Chain A
């Protein structure tokens, strides 16, 4: 069995999507061949060839303005027929993470991916919406605030290996929402200071 995991983050390092894709690949482990493609492969147009013979395509990406990051969207749009041909018979899964606390805010992006699968003539598996992506580096996946994420990825790995379909699901951290918000705000203020700005400057109206 071949599973191709596509990291749809435009970031080259420390992205939440890379962390999730790596954790999912580790869970799939030796049970199947698991290939991870990133933004560089998408840009070079190499991805459709890498998809060839895949039983599952797993798209992992951050939520951008309630949808798919533009570079991944462009790839899906421009390579639709190549993807459909290279991965014909594959089942499509998607894992979307956002910076909001609520995993359900990824629902529209998951629908867009479902519509992509329909346009490509591929079978839709299911989607997982992950909230509080800002916590992804706070602990190992499956530990502490990321226990729910670990369980969600365990279940998804089993479903992918069994070629199952299902209802879209959401996942939120084992962490209070109010504290997540407070930490996020503190993080933005810290970033501003590192850039030589005062908190007040973050509210600028240029």
Chain B
């Protein structure tokens, strides 16, 4: 038996994350009674430390370790850094919400941190087993977080739907993975790529496997026709959890898509491209049209998220380095916008009142003009109106899909973007031109949230005015 101990250095951020998460899990039971916020600060400090470790060891070269089951490249580093940044924001907003709704619990933060660990594993996966385990760690943490408010019937129902459908999708994906393994005899992405390129593997078995893998991916990203869980889960979950689900896991989901389709199976591009075209167009159309009928902002944002995933997949359809870079830029922008969009609902909710109907935003401009302006920026950015950053995200993916020769898809994308602008602008209209139905002032629940929300919203504007750095970062890392 000849076994060389692998290098641990590339995985130090993950190791620190796991050790700290386990430590906080135990420590929480001791300190939670005396210091209510200790767990929260410990989690944020851990995220900062892990972010620092990533920044200092940032690498442009590709390193494999643990018998090629772990990969560290600039794509992984950039995605992880944004996962950290987004999670920092999410936990900050979530704490205030939990305090307002009187269900402060250490489990929320600990499960959230384990979820981040799952995302890290997923982003760095280089074989099917680690990819699957990362996905399951992330999903299991999220299922539990949705149901954490256990006396709330809607939250429990949402968790059940999410859990059952999620388990089914994971099963589909595993079946597809077993097919690819059966055809290639390998679970390592780099090896699978070579075997497919050499033409030794059975094409029909591979195509069959790819179909199931794409189904699993589409479910995890929430793309049509596997989107049914999204509105119910987003609506039913406590807003703090919706904020968590709607942002960081999408980054990990995109990383999973990139690793599976582009790193492991670029040889099967003709097989998965057709599937992705179908899913992308359906997502954009359903996201644009069904969202119009929603009167709950969380449901509307869920459908808008489905539409955004459709746009993101445009970059995947292009199936080039540049296409995936554009998609990466799109998902990062989407995650940041998501923090702001769900963050504003969190920031305005009070005990016993969720502030998640569009009608609640009526006349916001008279009550609180600054907040209305922030919401305006968020909605404009989501709709893709210049000069906000959402515009650059949309234009890049459309450019890439046109460059790949699919002009007709780009035309559909632009039409759906125009349709979806209608419901974003409807919120703006409610804020500026309607009379408020709420008596009394509309205030953000705490000053730190006020600063946080203003920061994220202004970031959307700043990134829209100076997008070059972030775009370059995405184009260099793939």
A and B: interacting chains: no
- Which residues of B does A touch, CB under 8 Å? none
